[in-house]
Structure 1
Amino acid sequence: MEHFSIIQALCRAAMGEPTLALRKQVERLKDALAKDGEEKQAASLAGILATAERLKEMAPSRIERSRAGLSGETLGRNTPVPVDRETAAALAEIIFPSEVEGAAPLFNSTVTQAVGTIVDEWTDFEALATVDIMPSKTCLIYGAPGTGKTRLALWIARRLELPVVLVKLDGLVSSFLGTTARNIGNLFAFANRYRCVLLLDEFDAIAKVRDDPQEVGEIKRVVNALLQNLDVRQNIGLTIGITNHPKLLDSAVWRRFEVQLEIPKPDFEVRKAIAAMFMPPVTAPDSHLRLIAWFTEGSTGAEIEALVRTYKKATTVREDDRRGLLDTLRQFATLNAARIQSERRTLLFDGPANLFRAMRDDPILAFSMADIGEIAGRDKSTVSRQLGRQASKVDGGMNHG
């Protein structure tokens, strides 16, 4: 190749701080040279790639550099966890980063950006320390059940390459409330010793309104113990509380959390993305994903996943038992009535013309006649005729009135 020495120098300079896309292009060039018989030049690029990989392995990552700035011990797989003195039951479960699903949970852009700032604070721990600022050490994640709160907390821990000390707070409450306060103290002492994410799930089990007349006075001391331990949480990890019932939390509890992140139910585009994420290995047409997203308005990610499972079952059974998408939606709506909005459920079981008209006229779906026909298992001329008859009935009714 003419001027290869210049190309070689450019590749060597660029691979000093390579991106994934850049590395891919250098690999493509190497393969192309090898295919053209330029073995020496291909070998030179292979050497540059190998050197860059060795340097990458030797250089500490941002996260590794940040963790090096943290005090605290490393939590290992054989580290004993604290137990309840009365029952000897473990007070927590340890989850390591390699055990957490790598795919990021799907949220709207606002939530995604907010989560990114939490991760960035901890990965830039050293930079913040230079201006005497510490990353947020407490975060409350709240929202409806099934919106992905626990999955998000685990994913944050994976990004930070920190193990999770997972505590189900409803299981922490002992019949001896004095024991519960001691268990809380032991858990926080454990979390303050090791670099970790302390994940307090079902947070409202303990952090109830202290003025609740249904609770005995001792529960107030338990809540106070929790608040005091949150106050002294060490800067060696993040504490995340999760609740489905934010209204049950004491106002003093809210003040202890520097970050208060609400996870909303997914919008149309996020619902479609969630359906696509759970669909493999089945391949669904884009129109099917859009209709699933449309019919699951107001649903959570967990409910969309349940519908996708129903869809996958319906498309993989014997040919004569397979259901079309509309029949699958009707089946799901019958077995999961509360998961589909009443208006959409009525359309499913109403005459096809009303459903077809709604699918055609909705600006989010913007279905063509061909789209509707494919979903309904009819040709577009049949769909058009049904819509025409429906329009004639409407017009006739108006004229008669």
Structure 2
Amino acid sequence: MQLASIQIKGPIMDHFPIVQALCRAAMATPNPALRKQIERLSAALKEAGEAKQAGTLNGILTSAERAEEMAPSRLVRSKAAFAGETLTPNTPLPVDKETSSVLAEVIFPHQISATGPLFSSPVEAAVKSLLDEWNHLSELEALDVAPAKSCLIFGAPGTGKTRLAYWIAKQLDLPLVVARLDSLMSSFLGTSARNIGALFSFAGRYRCILLLDEFDSLAKLRDDPQEVGEIKRIVNTLLQNLDARYEVGLTIGITNHPQLLDSAVWRRFEIQLEIPVPDLPLRLEMARAFMVPADVPESHIKLLAWFTDGATGAELETLVRSYKKLRAVRGDASEEVFDVFRQFATMNSGRLSKPKRGLLFGDQANLISALHDAESPPFSMTELGELMGRDKSTISRIIKQDRKTKKSD
């Protein structure tokens, strides 16, 4: 392969974070020509011995491919399938008649990021299946079936549920009507039920996706002994409106507390999609994505993923942001990466597991040994030296001494 036309030296390597950011921005709306040029650049970097930078570009290409795989192939047909009038920025929004508070806000497709959220393969497959249904309407009609009209997304806070709902609206090229649940719930007897009716009436009039975020605040268990009769009326009204909207368009509910939902509410949703906390491979992918445009050693990415076992994507993003801030203030000294984790663990004590917090603030030899013994992801002696600011032989001596000490104890 002839790569002589791409010169991998001097300025291009000095400014690789800019090159990386440009490639990621370009792949937000990919085409074959762009992809080919990034592939050529990646191959040239690899041939020049810049394996880490080549791997970064390959990661950008892989992420773009995954987003394309999830995206529907025909947007116009899905949009046409939604009955009703067209929403515009000037469309009057529904309000609470008692307080004049707006009951919803409208997010238009152009306001939503084109970059898809990162999820595990099973979740991505489920989302792709939903989008495919809306883009194969004639095939479904031939079998006398309709695409899914309701989807409940649940999971721990910070797992990307709301971001996913926004991205679905982007892919179907439809406005997202986001219910303001604080306005829906009124202190006036009977007003809350009326507000729910007004919201659904608005969503049913226009071509849109209705999003009920923090859904559990509306759909509490009707037999909750702590609740008065008003909440029962609210849930009944909600059920009636969900039934009526089924023939109109797509409704998405989101909850962090699925155990609070009435069983009758669960039955109203065809798709019940749980978003789990990310596993290690996904945390690695997320860390690389969140790190842009910073150009950091791969060992730091692996360390971020290793320390955040059990954390959500939002928590990992917060940690990466803290890392980037400290790097901007103090420079790129590798050994200071642990300062980020200690600072983060102090300010966010609930976001790192107790054993790993103990390693952070304990004896350095224990930390080095724990990283060396990690099977997923594995850390080489070179990477441990890079993280600790030591050479490989020193790291090896520390590990041997630590094992000897523990054995004698």
Normalising to structure 2: TM-score of the pair?
0.81
Alignment partners' CA distance in 1, 2:333 and 2:285: 28
What pairs up with 1:251-330 in 2 under 5 angstroms? 251-319=263-331, 324-330=336-342
What is residue 372 of structure 1 aligned with on the other side?
A: 384
Aligned residue for 1:166, secondary structure, equals strand
Query: How far has the Cα of 1:67 moved from its partner?
Result: 2.5
What is residue 382 of structure 1 aligned with on the other side?
A: 394
Paired amino acid for 1:228 = Q
What is residue 57 of structure 2 aligned with on the other side?
A: none
Alignment partners' CA distance in 2, 1:309 and 1:270: 18
Aligned residue for 1:348, secondary structure, equals helix
| Contact 1:69–1:126, Cα closer than 8 Å, also in 2 | no
Alignment partners' CA distance in 2, 1:284 and 1:24: 23
* Alignment length (residue pairs): 346
Q: Specify whether residues 114 and 177 from structure 1 end up closer, same or farther in structure 2 by C-alpha distance, changes over 3 A only.
A: farther
What is residue 125 of structure 1 aligned with on the other side?
A: 137
The one of 62, 84, 87 equivalent to 2:99 is 87
Alignment partners' CA distance in 2, 1:334 and 1:187: 43
Alignment partners' CA distance in 1, 2:195 and 2:221: 20
The one of 190, 197, 207 equivalent to 1:178 is 190
Aligned residue for 1:237, secondary structure, equals coil
What is residue 77 of structure 2 aligned with on the other side?
A: 65
What is residue 159 of structure 1 aligned with on the other side?
A: 171
What is residue 115 of structure 1 aligned with on the other side?
A: 127
The one of 218, 229, 246 equivalent to 1:217 is 229
- Relative to structure 2, which stretch is displaced further, 326-335 or 136-145? 326-335
Q: Specify whether residues 22 and 128 from structure 1 end up closer, same or farther in structure 2 by C-alpha distance, changes over 3 A only.
A: farther
| Contact 1:65–1:126, Cα closer than 8 Å, also in 2 | no
Query: How far has the Cα of 1:23 moved from its partner?
Result: 9.5
What is residue 21 of structure 1 aligned with on the other side?
A: 32
What pairs up with 1:343-382 in 2 under 5 angstroms? 343-382=355-394
Q: 1:95-124 deviations in whole A, cap 9, x for unaligned?
A: 000101111111110111011111111122
| Contact 1:137–1:237, Cα closer than 8 Å, also in 2 | yes
Task: Kindly indicate whether structure 1 or structure 2 has the higher relative contact order, using CA contacts under 8 Å at least 6 residues apart.
Answer: 2
Query: How far has the Cα of 1:200 moved from its partner?
Result: 0.4
- 1:231 equivalent in alignment to 2:243: yes
Alignment partners' CA distance in 2, 1:211 and 1:170: 22
Query: How far has the Cα of 1:379 moved from its partner?
Result: 1.0
Query: How far has the Cα of 1:234 moved from its partner?
Result: 4.5
Aligned residue for 1:305, secondary structure, equals helix
Q: 1:126-173 deviations in whole A, cap 9, x for unaligned?
A: 321222211111111111111111000000000000000001324310
Alignment partners' CA distance in 1, 2:394 and 2:34: 53
Paired amino acid for 1:21 = P
Normalising to structure 1: TM-score of the pair?
0.82
Query: How far has the Cα of 1:78 moved from its partner?
Result: 1.0
| Contact 2:150–2:246, Cα closer than 8 Å, also in 1 | no
Q: Specify whether residues 347 and 180 from structure 1 end up closer, same or farther in structure 2 by C-alpha distance, changes over 3 A only.
A: same
What stretches of structure 2 of length at least 5 have no aligned partner? 1-29, 38-72
Paired amino acid for 2:158 = G
| Percent of aligned positions that are identical | 57
- 1:341 equivalent in alignment to 2:353: yes
Alignment partners' CA distance in 2, 1:104 and 1:285: 25
What is residue 31 of structure 1 aligned with on the other side?
A: none
| Contact 1:66–1:126, Cα closer than 8 Å, also in 2 | no
What is residue 53 of structure 2 aligned with on the other side?
A: none
| Contact 1:170–1:206, Cα closer than 8 Å, also in 2 | no
Alignment partners' CA distance in 1, 2:36 and 2:154: 43
| Contact 1:97–1:162, Cα closer than 8 Å, also in 2 | yes
| Contact 2:221–2:260, Cα closer than 8 Å, also in 1 | yes
Q: 1:333-352 deviations in whole A, cap 9, x for unaligned?
A: 11111100011111111211
| Contact 1:93–1:167, Cα closer than 8 Å, also in 2 | yes
Paired amino acid for 1:93 = E
- Relative to structure 2, which stretch is displaced further, 159-168 or 282-291? 282-291
What is residue 216 of structure 2 aligned with on the other side?
A: 204
Alignment partners' CA distance in 2, 1:25 and 1:351: 49
Alignment partners' CA distance in 1, 2:118 and 2:333: 33
| Contact 1:315–1:322, Cα closer than 8 Å, also in 2 | no
Paired amino acid for 2:357 = R
What stretches of structure 1 of length at least 5 have no aligned partner? 1-18, 27-60
Q: 1:262-317 deviations in whole A, cap 9, x for unaligned?
A: 11001011111111111112112211111101100111111111100110011111
| Contact 1:177–1:222, Cα closer than 8 Å, also in 2 | no
What is residue 26 of structure 2 aligned with on the other side?
A: none
| Contact 1:70–1:235, Cα closer than 8 Å, also in 2 | no
